[in-house]
Structure 1
Amino acid sequence: MYEIRETDYPMMPRERLRALGEKYLSDQELLAILLRTGTSKISVLDLSGQILKHFETLENFRRSSVEELMKIPGIGTTKAVEIRAMIELGKRIQTTERKRYGQVKGSQQFASVLMDEMSDFDQEHLVAVYLDGKNKIIKKRTIFVGTVNSASANPREILHFALKTLAAGLLIAHNHPSGDPQPSDADMIFTERMENACDNVGINFIDHIVIGHSRYFSFQENGLMLSPFDFIEAKAQQNK
């Protein structure tokens, strides 16, 4: 539950930011600055407090839609659209900052980038990241939107661009809209097909990362770059 504390500051949020810096402002104050105005019945600080209390957590607020925002008294179409634009811009700024290195330094590092980009998707997206010999990113492409299965996830299509750009390495990732990044049996089978296909053409298959809500699953980190049937059998043994 998001708790809003009543605080009697001697300065308004804009003045406090100029005097102290943004790090010293509460979430409520920062949102009040972005909203700019309240209504004839409620101050902008109280309005921002009501918004945060309504969504309970910043994560829920980040995922809110225009329609959900407009259900809050005092939030009309204009303010709801401005809030969504602010959230998306902040997301893009954070993603751009992480992308600027242009290199995959590890599954954990790159999974944090992917979580920013993919955790809010309502459908599964499969992306392929093509790398040079130093793991610098040549290109990141969305292969398809849908469910990862043998029909839609064709290694040939994924590897076509890898061969075209002379990529030395490949990393693939997809999201689970449910929020649970635990791989399915279909994910395991697809991973093995990709691993075999990359071996056949001499491309280093680095990892398959599954993105959930604030969580991820790395096949490489979990030592599961192996036959899916072995993994399925191992899970069955664990469940006995």
Structure 2
Amino acid sequence: MRINELADYQKPKERMLNHGASELSHAELLAILINTGRKGYSSLDIAHELLRSVSNLKELKSLSLNDLNQIKGVGVYKALTLKAAFELGERMHSGSVEEKVQINSPKDVANYMMAKMEHLKQEQLVVLFLDAKNVVFKQKIIFIGTLNSSIVHPREIFNEAIKQSSHSIILIHNHPSGEVTPSNEDIETTKRLIQCGAIIGIEILDHIIIGDHQYLSLAEEGYID
């Protein structure tokens, strides 16, 4: 059934006007973003098709423009609209550098980065660059792949830290398995980087491992001094 064939109280936009966004299903919210259907299919039908293409709602944000464009009736412009909405949602959930996020605990780091990293399919090492008040002013992906002290070179991290005049930095990486127990390589790589930071006067405050809805702080758990 097409959207215009539904009674007004059943249409996503009307339901949102009358009841608010929180009362709408995932498909109805997506249908509003998609806006128009294709021949024989409503925007709501396309929204359901899009949801069937992923195993959970969070996987939507990892879909590329090409992935979205494969759904008949989406197209480039609707794909751009969806990607923009997903990105805004992620930024609202985790905060952005422009919002002057201050780090006072490992939990602050997890709240800031969890949504961005917990569902990545490959390990990434991200560095947060902080000022003297522990406010994040930049973040950067330094390395993609399994951490190894012979591969993750300190210069990649500290060149950027020096260039940015960072007071301190925090390391974060994800475990695609969802588990957060650090490997020996995680610990040894971190210790090596801490030693390098001490020599040049840039402190590594912590190394946070992000898993599936969980995190671990190497400093908090006593793996590093």
TM-score for the superposition, normalised by structure 2 = 0.76
Aligned partners of 1:32 and 1:45 also within 8 Å: yes
Contact kept, 8 Å, 2:100 with 2:136, in 1: the verdict is no
C-alpha deviation, 1:207, in angstroms: 0.6
1:155-183 residue CA offsets vs partner (Å, 9 max, x unmatched): 34433454565544321112334444432
Identity between Structure 1 and Structure 2 (%): 35
Question: Amino acid of the residue matched to residue 21 of structure 1?
Answer: G
Q: Which residue of 2 aligns with 1:101?
A: 100
8 Å contact 1:38–1:47 — kept in the other structure? yes
Question: Which letter maps to 2:184?
Answer: D
1:32-111 paired onto structure 2 within 5 Å:
32-69=31-68, 72=71, 74-76=73-75, 78-96=77-95, 100-111=99-110
Task: Give the equivalent residue in structure 1 for 2:223.
Answer: 224
**Aligned partners of 1:99 and 1:113 also within 8 Å:** no
For 1:118, the aligned partner's letter is M
For the pair 1:148 / 2:152, whether they are aligned, the reply is no
From the superposition, tell whether residues 87 and 160 of structure 1 become closer, same or farther in structure 2 (CA, over 3 Å): closer
**Residue number in structure 1 paired with 2:3:** none
**Other structure's SS at 1:55 match:** coil
Matched positions, count: 220
Alpha-carbon distance in 1 for matches of 2:135, 2:178:
29
- The answer as to 2:40 corresponding to 1:29 is no
Q: Which runs of 5+ in 1 are unaligned?
A: 1-6, 227-240
Q: Quick one: structure 1 residues 138 and 46, their matched pair in 2 at CA, closer, same or farther if it must change by over 3 Å?
A: closer
Aligned twin of 1:18: 17
Alignment match, 2:116: 117
Q: 1:98 to 1:216 in 2, by over 3 A?
A: farther
Distance (Å, rounded) in 1 between the aligned partners of 2:140 and 2:75:
37
SS in 2 for 1:183: coil
Contact 1:124 1:147 in 2 (8 A): yes
Question: Could you tell me which residue of structure 2 aligns to residue 236 of structure 1?
Answer: none
Of structures 1 and 2, the larger Rg is shown by 1
Q: Relative to 1, partners in 2 of residues 1:203 and 1:80: Cα closer, same or farther, differing over 3 Å?
A: closer
1:6-62 deviations in whole A, cap 9, x for unaligned? x98724211222223212222121111111122332332233234324434212333
Counterparts of 1:131 and 1:171, CA distance in 2: 8
Q: Distance in 1 between matches of 2:181 and 2:85?
A: 31
Q: What are structure 2's unaligned runs of at least 5 residues?
A: 1-5
